[in-house]
Each structure stands twice: as C-alpha cells, then as structure tokens.
Structure 1
C-alpha cells in the first residue's frame, strides 16, 4: 500500500498538539525537553510508536487520515508520554505506572494502551497455518521465511510446528 500524502493542515494540527503537550510537560515537570521529530511512516495496524533513543514519534498516516481528531487526542499524547517517561525514569515497562502517571497527571489524557480505530484499511494479508490445537495467521514476511526455509514457527500453546493450511480438528 502506498503511503498517503497528508494535508499540510493536518500535519500542522498534529504539530500544534505535540508542542502544546510538550509545553505542558515542561511546565508540570519543571524540566526542558527537546521537540521530538515526527515521522509519518508507521505501517501496519499500529497507530504510532515512540523511538526512544532517536527521540522520534512515528505515526501511521493511513490511520491518522481516517481518525484525525481522535488520533491527535489519543495517539500523539500516548507516544509523547512514552518518550517523556524514558527521559525521566529510564527503562521501565512501556505502559506501566510511570506511563499512566505521565498520561493522566502530566498530560491530562486518559491512559489507554491500545487504540480503537477500525483497521481494515491497514490490515496485512495473512496466511493460514495450523498446529495440533488451533489455526494461526502468519504475516507475509513470516510466510515467506517459512517458504524459503529460513524459519519455522511453533504454537505457544501446544508447542507443535506450524504447517501451512487450514486447521481441522482431529
């Protein structure tokens, strides 16, 4: 899928939100933080990711276009909080008590770990595989690794090797 071109006004709205939240954090924490880079290249079903060491926020342009205000209200603070927590507390669980505190008390946003956006437009094609107990769906990348003999995958439940094909209980 080709990455859509985002309207300048939408990119500016995202940046305004980021700057507002960053200023709020600087004031409430009495610390200075550099402005993180925004990268609109997140793919798949993730709305965004925080790249801690690079001090970047990667955003999914497809989901942003489809869920503009909700994305700005939820995803931008979520990923900024991840960066801020890393700077203030170091390596801690990604959505632990520090992140919840940062979201709610510092940024004033409800702490939700996952988005509720419709993802049909970004869902990757999957391939059916089976084990002894259930059906699995492997991504194109993992499917190709199996075909090339580079990887094999096991079910975490029954530990048997995944085989291509639909599941049919014995």
Structure 2
C-alpha cells in the first residue's frame, strides 16, 4: 500500500523537475504520523511524514492532493529558501503551476477521535467542575496544585471519571 504513496512522491518530484528544469533531492518518507494531520514536511531534514490511517480512508484524494501539498513544501523550501511563508505565494505557485491543484491549506478528511478519560476535579463554586486529562491528573498525583480562578480554592479530585 505505501508503494503507491512512494510512487506519487516520485511523480510529484519529476513534475517539479520538468517544470523548473532542475533536480531536487528526494526526501526520506515516513508513515509515523497520527492524529489530525494528514502529512507533514520537515524542511530542514528533507523528510515527509504521512498519516497511514488517513491515507487508507481517503486514498484517492490523499494521493492527489495531500502528497502534492507536502512535496510542494519541500520544493518551495529548496527553491526559495527558509524565509518563505508555509502556505505563501511560492508554495501556492507550485501547487497551481506545477501540480495544477488548488492550494488548500487543510484537508477535510473525517478524523476518528478516540475516546479519552477525563478526571473530574471540583472547587467550592456551585458549578465548579473541571475535567482533567490523564496527564494533568498525574501531575496532581505528583504534587502539583491547580486553583479555581473564581473562588481561589484548590481543585480536588472528586473520584469521578468520564469518557469523552
């Protein structure tokens, strides 16, 4: 499956080379990206990271749009240097002129949010309920204190948890 993605990266580079009449160094390609982002270009390292889950769920658009989007970042960086805006006119030129694609900044793929546990903390206020993340709950267990901005009381774990 990632073979198609690698082939699309190569095709995007060849298009850019034909357009600009120069060679570009090929990036390292990784599939270790999770969460909301479909792809990330690491300009200094000449590296692309892609979200394999979003690729599987949106294969056609991902290959066409997302891969070109990320390659365009690296090409723009190599052509115009580090001082350009990430989605500025240079990047847009490459998206429109080289790839003939709309320069969309963000994808609109459905992203499955995983359920997370919230730990409920309370203060003296009548409606003082504060859902803490697992990380913040751990910090409290290690001695960190959090305070209500209204009543200034220390927030205390209620013993309740809920899935969100």
TM-score computed with the length of structure 1 as normaliser: 0.69
Give the match for residue 49 of structure 1: 40
Q: Return the match for 1:101 from 93, 96, 100.
A: 93
Q: For the structure 1 residues 139 and 25, does the alpha-carbon distance in structure 2 shift closer, same or farther, using more than 3 Å as the test?
A: farther
The alignment partner of 2:29 has SS state of strand
8 A contact 1:44–1:123 mirrored in 2? no
Give the match for residue 67 of structure 2: 76
8 A contact 2:36–2:111 mirrored in 1? yes
Q: For the structure 1 residues 128 and 39, does the alpha-carbon distance in structure 2 shift closer, same or farther, using more than 3 Å as the test?
A: same
Residues in 1 aligned to 2:110 and 2:50: alpha-carbon distance in whole angstroms = 16
Q: Give the CA deviation at 1:125.
A: 3.4
Q: For the structure 1 residues 31 and 118, does the alpha-carbon distance in structure 2 shift closer, same or farther, using more than 3 Å as the test?
A: same
Q: Give the CA deviation at 1:62.
A: 1.0
Q: Give the CA deviation at 1:164.
A: 9.6
Larger Rg: 2
Gaps of 5+ in 1: 1-9, 130-135, 153-162, 166-170
Once superposed, which parts of structure 1, at least 4 consecutive aligned residues long, lie more than 3 Å away? 122-129, 136-141, 143-150
Residues in 2 aligned to 1:119 and 1:137: alpha-carbon distance in whole angstroms = 23
Residues in 2 aligned to 1:126 and 1:97: alpha-carbon distance in whole angstroms = 42
TM-score computed with the length of structure 2 as normaliser: 0.71
Whether 1:40 and 2:49 are equivalent positions in the alignment is no
Gaps of 5+ in 2: 121-129, 147-154, 158-164
Structure holding more strand per residue: 2
Q: For the structure 1 residues 29 and 16, does the alpha-carbon distance in structure 2 shift closer, same or farther, using more than 3 Å as the test?
A: same
Pairs aligned (count): 140
